[in-house]
Amino acid sequence: MMPLAFRKKERPAVRKIEIYDTTLRDGSQAEEISFSVEDKLRITEKLDELGVQYIEGGWPGSNPKDAEYFNKVRKLSLSYSVVAAFGSTYKPKHRVEDDYNIKSLLESKARVVTIVGKTWDFHVKELFKIPLQENLEIIYNSISFLKNNVEKVFFDAEHFFDGYKDNPEFALKCVQAAEAAGADCLVLCDTNGGTLPHDLKKIVLGISKRVKVPLGIHVHNDSDCASPHS
């Protein structure tokens, strides 16, 4: 019989897993899907009944329908779920407090905000056309500003796995900037859905050793990796 101390050490640590549902934002971008505000409110109630911890209600800065949803969802008496608003870091060459998208997030009065930011150096150079250091400042400033105004801020690390494969040091610096700014969860996103499970596992484990805040995962199913296979 193995000594008890050894067996204890071998026992996997119990970790709390929380569910964050993106049906109302990401799901509504799928083909042939168009939710009305009323649909979104009913789905919110159903997700609450299921006991989902966080419901991403929409992107208030992107369309008036989502802004209306946030006005109405506050009047629902949800018993379990917290509704989160989604948006992006402020635009390069803008000031965080003047950015339309950031202001819309605050106007939504959501207690939780999820902010998506670039973590692939290719995108920073080609789309933002700014130095890499400036992207780290954008992430840091966006999150610290929001943290002063809402209860929780989650960081969606966009194209994280593609970025990590190209430039691991920079991708790590991006999530560390979010952590330093007070992000409550670092959500690693496989935005193209092309990362295979063995690579994904290796990268997530590597990142978990370099940051202290909880990690989240948001993967797309473009390569069918999310489907059960025999």
Radius of gyration of the chain (CA): 19
Task: Count other Cβ atoms within 10 Å, centred on residue 10.
Answer: 8
Number of chain residues interacting with Zn ion (CB under 5 A): 1
Cα separation, 68 vs 31, in Å, equals 22
**Contact track, Zn ion, 26-65, x by CB under 5 A:** x---------------------------------------
> Would you say 26 or 137 has its CB closer to Zn ion?
26
In 3D, which of 69, 10, 207 has the Cα closest to residue 199? 207
As measured in angstroms, the least distance from the Cβ of 26 to Zn ion is 4
9, two tokens: 């050490």
Between residues 71 and 192, which has the closer beta carbon with respect to Zn ion? 192
CB of 194 to Zn ion, least distance (A): 13
Supply the minimum distance, in Å, between the C-beta of residue 134 and Zn ion: 25
CA distance 193 to 187: 14
- Give residues 7-26 in contact with Zn ion (rule: CB under 5 A): 26
Give whichever of 26 and 39 is closer to Zn ion, judged by the CB atom. 26
Residue 104 neighbours by CB under 8 Å, 6+ apart: 60, 61, 67, 87
CB of 98 to Zn ion, least distance (A): 27
Binding site for Zn ion (CB under 5 A): 26
